[in-house]
């Protein structure tokens, strides 16, 4: 067996092994584990096909000669079966999503959705979309970028369908990136485009980033953006009476914290009297506890980032500050409807955080709580089109449409086109 064939074998096995057993205990290596596991997991079918093609070329060239080469081919076959199983697991996610929705909203939740809205819902992913995972189809959409929201020169983007209801519900998106990276244009695009096509107005907001910014700057900015949206979204065809919030990772933390702290003056300096209540929240793989109350963190990486770059104080010196920043410790019975989404192979944010947060929220809240645990999903699995992200996207759309339908029913309003 040649060196090239050996390298292909080792890299293929390592990539697949990381899908099923991501690195958790080491703060540095878990980042590499995430980066490779994220791409390989959501592109498992494409990677399997590429590996098969490369192996076929090497086999024809005699690179797998001898007994060792024979066993290497067998190992690669086993590897491809594992990749295809991972892909199939994503394709089969539909019943898992539906079961989570029924558990949180009731077995007959679809019947409670406004008939006009229900007829537009898509129940199964479009396979053609998954064949072009990075394509962002803007057909029928208008994206207005870099609208100032009158706070520290920050801006937001608005996604809207060219044809939409006269008073459309609003989805506010808060990007992730460890409170230090990322931007409003690069994340949750599949979800925002899908919701826009369903007649929603979607706003993706920027906020100040650390280390220049110091907590609570991030949540203050998000509250300011929400206040601006409430005051101005009507000019873009949006309904300020129904605003849902979503975000992933750091954005999951901020979206949950925003939803659980309506009108908190500590997070609204200079605009304390503004209404910052939202009507629903969908945090993805959020960092729900900065205090590590339940010792769920895999390693000391998060605490180190928070202390050195985000809060710029230690947990030991300022425990109340860390606790007040933790959505897990801000749960009340008045929480809006929540859908909590987390992948069970997340190497950056412990799956235990999602489980505990959803369970305690469900126990306390007077409103619905849906918890979707996505088998095989890494951190950021929803950034581009894949079997898992597409099934999840459609489930979130059903949840949000149900929440908006409940709002319409309780307010006596009617959705008009």
In the set 63, 249, 326, 405, the catalytic residue is 249
Distance CA(320)–CA(313), nearest Å, equals 11
Residue 229 contacts residue 261 (beta carbons within 8 Å) = no
Q: Catalytic site residue 402?
A: no
Q: Catalytic site residue 379?
A: yes
Distance CA(340)–CA(355), nearest Å, equals 9
Distance CA(2)–CA(348), nearest Å, equals 36
In the set 86, 173, 218, 379, the catalytic residue is 379
Q: Catalytic site residue 386?
A: no
Angle, in degrees to the nearest 10, between helices 27-42 and 3-20: 100
Angle, in degrees to the nearest 10, between helices 27-42 and 66-91: 80
The distance from CA 258 to its chain's CA centroid, rounded to whole angstroms, is: 16
Cα dist from 312 to 216, 308, 369, whole Å? 11, 5, 33
- Residues with Cβ < 8 Å from 262, sequence gap 6 or more? 275, 276, 277, 278
Residue 277 contacts residue 202 (beta carbons within 8 Å) = no
Q: Three-state DSSP class for 146?
A: strand
In the set 157, 221, 289, 346, the catalytic residue is 346
Please list the helix, strand and coil fractions of the chain in percent, rounded to the nearest 5, in that order.
50, 15, 40
Instruction: Indicate the burial class of 121 (C-beta count within 10 angstroms; 0-12, 13-18, 19 or more).
Output: middle
> Edge-to-edge, what's the strand order for the sheet holding 280-284?
141-148, 155-161, 201-205, 168-174, 238-248, 280-284, 338-343, 369-374
Q: Which residues are catalytic?
A: 249, 346, 379
């Amino acid at each position: 067996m040649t060196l090239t064939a050996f390298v292909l074998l080792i890299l293929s096995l390592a990539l697949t092994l990381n899908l099923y057993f991501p690195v958790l205990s080491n703060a540095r290596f878990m980042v590499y584990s995430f980066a490779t596991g994220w791409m390989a997991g959501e592109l498992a079918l494409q990677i399997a096909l590429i590996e098969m093609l490369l192996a076929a070329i090497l086999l024809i060239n005699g690179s797998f000669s001898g007994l060792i080469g024979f066993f290497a081919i067998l190992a690669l076959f086993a590897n491809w079966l594992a990749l295809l199983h991972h892909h199939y697991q994503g394709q089969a996610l539909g019943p898992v999503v539906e079961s989570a929705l029924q558990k949180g909203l009731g077995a007959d939740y679809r019947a409670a959705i406004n008939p006009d809205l229900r007829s537009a819902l898509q129940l199964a992913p479009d396979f053609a979309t998954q064949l072009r995972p990075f394509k962002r189809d803007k057909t029928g959409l208008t994206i207005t970028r870099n609208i100032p929201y009158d706070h520290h020169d920050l801006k937001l983007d608005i996604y809207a369908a060219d044809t939409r209801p006269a008073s459309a519900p609003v989805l506010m998106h808060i990007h992730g990136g460890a409170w230090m990276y990322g931007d409003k244009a690069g994340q949750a695009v599949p979800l925002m485009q899908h919701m826009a096509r369903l007649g929603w107005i979607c706003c993706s907001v920027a906020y100040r980033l650390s280390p220049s910014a110091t907590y609570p700057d991030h949540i203050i900015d998000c509250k300011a953006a929400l206040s601006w949206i409430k005051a101005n979204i009507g000019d873009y065809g949006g309904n300020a009476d129904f605003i849902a919030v979503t975000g992933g990772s750091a954005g999951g933390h901020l979206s949950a914290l925003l939803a659980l702290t309506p009108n908190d003056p500590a997070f609204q300096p200079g605009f304390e009297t503004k209404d910052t209540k939202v009507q629903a929240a969908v945090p993805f793989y959020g960092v729900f506890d900065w205090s590590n109350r339940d010792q769920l963190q895999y390693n000391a990486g998060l605490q180190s980032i928070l202390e050195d770059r985000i809060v710029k104080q230690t947990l030991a010196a300022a425990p109340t500050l860390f606790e007040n920043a933790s959505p897990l410790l801000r749960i009340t019975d008045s929480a809006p409807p929540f859908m909590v989404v987390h992948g069970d192979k997340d190497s950056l944010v412990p799956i235990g955080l999602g489980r505990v947060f959803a369970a305690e929220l469900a126990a306390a809240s007077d409103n619905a709580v849906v918890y979707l645990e996505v088998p095989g999903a890494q951190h950021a699995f929803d950034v581009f089109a894949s079997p898992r992200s597409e099934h999840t996207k459609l489930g979130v759309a059903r949840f949000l449409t149900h929440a908006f339908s409940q709002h319409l029913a309780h307010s006596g309003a009617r959705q008009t086109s």
